[in-house]
Structure 1
Amino acid sequence: MVPERPYAEPRSGSLFDDDAAPEPGIRPAGPEAGAEALAAELPASLRMGTSSWHFPGWAGLVWDRLYSEKHLSRAGLSAYAQHPLFRTVSLDRGFYRPLTVAQHVAYAEQVPDGFRFVVKAPALVSDALIRESGGKGRTANPGFLDADLAWREYVAPARRGLGPKLGALVFQISPLPGRWLGEIDRLIDRLEGMLRVATMAANESPDAVVAVEVRNPEWLTPAFVAALKDTGATYCLSVHPKMPPIAQQLPILRALWPGPLVCRWNLNLKHGAFGYEQARDDYSPFDALVDPDPDTRAVLTRVIAGTVGAGRPAYVTINNKAEGSAPLSVRALAEAVRAASR
């Protein structure tokens, strides 16, 4: 029996419609000056993209004109995947409700062969609490870090539906209740069991990796690193105010070296740990770099160079709330990577 969903779906946002089938009519923006040449100079094992694709404000950057959010959510992926710098996207909608095999298949059919998906684990297994619609924790989630549930509701559907287009399975562990922070070792044992299931499945897809992203620095212990290493999983670098700057997270990756890179550039640090709504208001319609973050970009450029130089894959997805416009952040990071390789 599947437990109650640990996080209520937002009331608004067509991103959560059940039917992911493509609709006609959305066309990509015209070729961006130099974008194709830039893409050709990037390492083949580097895949960059954004967190979802349903943003009308990307008109002229990704879309040829203004479309509604609902239309983009349902039918924009194919046009998104034609952007020369976008070789991945994060399927964040699955956090609120697990995606089915059919939904994954529908997504895979809309992108070219070289495209790979970053798939975020559902709150069903990655959140310790069942939450109200506003995000407030209501009660303990019995499915938290449950290996069997993760397999049925997340890993198996993604593997079957996406096939070779599966890129990264990301378990983003939501912030823990304060009373649980003293039980990290017990939670790591449960996490390790879940990761063993996920990495066995990921090994069947040529480019797939499993990563863990956390929202409490208390996770970052030798036992946590050992669990990642023992299961073949990796650490997901997270640019988020709840975590130390990514330069301070790098020792975790060094302990797992050589390995793949998975990074989710989530939220500009100026907005604080609970600043998603403020960032949305500050940056909407997401068509300009309002708060450039050159320090994060410089660190990522170095980590990308080291990762792909060692022959490992790198997946980097960027949120609009990182600098103001995810497509422009991808372009700026791509230019930094190219410059560093010359």
Structure 2
Amino acid sequence: MPDLFQDDFFADEPPLKASPGQTLPEPVAEPELQTRKPRRGDIALAPQAMQYAQLASQLPANLHMGASTWSYPGWEGLVWDGAYSKDVLARKGLSAYHQHPLLRTICVDRTFWRPLTTSQYAAFAAQVDEDFRFVVKCPAGVTDAQVRTEEGKPREDNPAFLDPRLAVEHFVQPTLEGLGSRLAVLVFQLSPLPWGLLSRPGLVFGKLGLMLAAVRQALAEHPQVVVAVELRDPELLGPALVDTLKAHGATFCLGLHGKMPPIEEQLPILRALWPGPLVCRWNLNRSFGAYGYADAQKKHEPFCEIRSEDQHTRQWLARTVKGITGAGQPAFVTISNDAEGCAPRSIALLAQAIADLPAAR
């Protein structure tokens, strides 16, 4: 492990603390989106985006950065060559997005709300080149312990929570078949747990282990696919989490938002799992609190500029990326508009911060 990674990130870190029903719907094809005909037929990359080509050449080859979803009209001039509706961008935007020098991955978040079909994934894959990679979230029907109302309020226990069969059949298999070699990371984001489960971490990690075992078996011929677990309960950070992830060849996804500790307090988990890849999702600026997504959206729309700059997180993340990639491990970092106001601009700032750091010794 290079000195930069070891000394800069993990020196003097506090030791890890000990850890104190619904049937998933069948995937359905989405209705045809109503769109207007784009200018000149297909969406093209904004010419201004090529100013980042030289910066991209200075980044580690094993680093993939990108946004969380892509259908934002406010990225006109940053990613898109003109004005397009959200519907047009949702259908065709990846064909331009993937040509941006800094955007080498995308997090498909919409799968959290309902499963997608193999053909839907294949349509995404057809818009990008061989070097592009996808990060995909598992449906909440598997990773949420509660069935929720349309407003997100808990309604009842979810009997399908961490169900191995559903995780494989409704998530792993369709993503593999549809995305093929472009699939990089499967993210299992556990929604906030009710106290009845949070007070019984052994039960949670037992169920998680069974699901991860089934997922790894389904990926037996695809060892390059990273399996990452993201949490929403800091109480679960500890040795039991590390042991469960290690036992099943999974890693920890850094989830950067107000519900979890800041990045530097999550890094001990990565140290305990070392060596391994980096998966990071920078979802929400901590200034908005644990549940401030609506406030962030209101402040940041139309998502075309930095309005909530977070230099602290950026610098920690840059050093983390530099150290891990410098040690030969891959890194997949996705950033939401809710992090600072505009994902493409945040990615450019992060890329510059990474490039400005000295090489790992």
1:178 and 1:172 mapped to 2: Cα distance? 18
Aligned residue type for 1:91: V
For residues 173-322 of structure 1, the aligned pairs below 5 Å read 173-202=190-219, 204-205=221-222, 207-322=224-339
Contact 2:48–2:78 (Cα < 8 Å) also in 1: no
Could you tell me how far 1:206 is from its partner in structure 2?
6.0
1:57 and 1:319 mapped to 2: Cα distance? 14
Could you tell me how far 1:18 is from its partner in structure 2?
4.6
Could you tell me how far 1:203 is from its partner in structure 2?
5.0
- Deviation per CA, 1:88-114: give whole Å up to 9, x if none: 000001011111111111111110000
Q: Is the aligned partner of 1:3 residue 2:20?
A: no
1:128 and 1:300 mapped to 2: Cα distance? 30
1:320 and 1:115 mapped to 2: Cα distance? 21
Q: Give aligned-pair identity as a percent.
A: 50
The DSSP-based 3-state class of the residue aligned with 2:166 is helix
Deviates more, 1:31-40 or 1:244-253: 31-40
The 3 A distance-change label for structure 1 pair 326 and 203 is farther
- Deviation per CA, 1:301-332: give whole Å up to 9, x if none: 11111211121110000000000000000000
Could you tell me how far 1:4 is from its partner in structure 2?
4.8
- Deviation per CA, 1:22-59: give whole Å up to 9, x if none: 98432211143630111111111100000000001000
Aligned residue type for 1:3: T
Tell me the TM-score normalized by structure 2: 0.88
1:25 and 1:103 mapped to 2: Cα distance? 19
Aligned residue type for 1:286: F
Name 2:70's counterpart in structure 1.
53
1:299 and 1:275 mapped to 2: Cα distance? 22
Contact 1:199–1:209 (Cα < 8 Å) also in 2: no
Q: Is the aligned partner of 1:66 residue 2:100?
A: no
Aligned residue type for 2:56: A
Contact 1:100–1:157 (Cα < 8 Å) also in 2: yes
Q: Where in structure 2 are there 5+ consecutive unaligned residues?
A: 1-21
Contact 2:115–2:139 (Cα < 8 Å) also in 1: yes
Larger relative contact order, structure 1 or 2 (CA cutoff 8 Å, min sep 6): 2
Identify which of 172, 195, 203 aligns with 1:155.
172
| Structure with max Cα Rg | 2
Name 2:6's counterpart in structure 1.
none
Contact 1:46–1:313 (Cα < 8 Å) also in 2: yes
Q: Where in structure 1 are there 5+ consecutive unaligned residues?
A: 6-15
Contact 2:229–2:251 (Cα < 8 Å) also in 1: yes
Aligned residue type for 2:335: I
Q: Is the aligned partner of 1:76 residue 2:76?
A: no
Identify which of 41, 61, 64 aligns with 2:58.
41
Name 1:13's counterpart in structure 2.
none
- Deviation per CA, 1:137-184: give whole Å up to 9, x if none: 111111110111100000111111111101100001011112321111
Could you tell me how far 1:292 is from its partner in structure 2?
1.0
1:308 and 1:271 mapped to 2: Cα distance? 30
Deviates more, 1:177-186 or 1:234-243: 177-186
Identify which of 125, 129, 135 aligns with 2:146.
129
The DSSP-based 3-state class of the residue aligned with 1:242 is coil
Could you tell me how far 1:280 is from its partner in structure 2?
0.2
Name 1:12's counterpart in structure 2.
none
Name 1:9's counterpart in structure 2.
none
The DSSP-based 3-state class of the residue aligned with 2:357 is helix
Aligned residue type for 1:175: P
Q: Is the aligned partner of 1:324 residue 2:341?
A: yes
Contact 1:19–1:103 (Cα < 8 Å) also in 2: no
2:62 and 2:208 mapped to 1: Cα distance? 28
CA RMSD across the alignment: 1.9
1:18 and 1:255 mapped to 2: Cα distance? 45
Could you tell me how far 1:240 is from its partner in structure 2?
1.0
- Deviation per CA, 1:58-107: give whole Å up to 9, x if none: 00101011111111111111111111101100000101111111111111
1:203 and 1:289 mapped to 2: Cα distance? 42
Name 1:92's counterpart in structure 2.
109
Aligned residue type for 2:146: L
Could you tell me how far 1:338 is from its partner in structure 2?
0.7
Name 2:43's counterpart in structure 1.
26
1:176 and 1:298 mapped to 2: Cα distance? 31
1:47 and 1:329 mapped to 2: Cα distance? 14
Q: Is the aligned partner of 1:336 residue 2:356?
A: no
The DSSP-based 3-state class of the residue aligned with 1:286 is coil
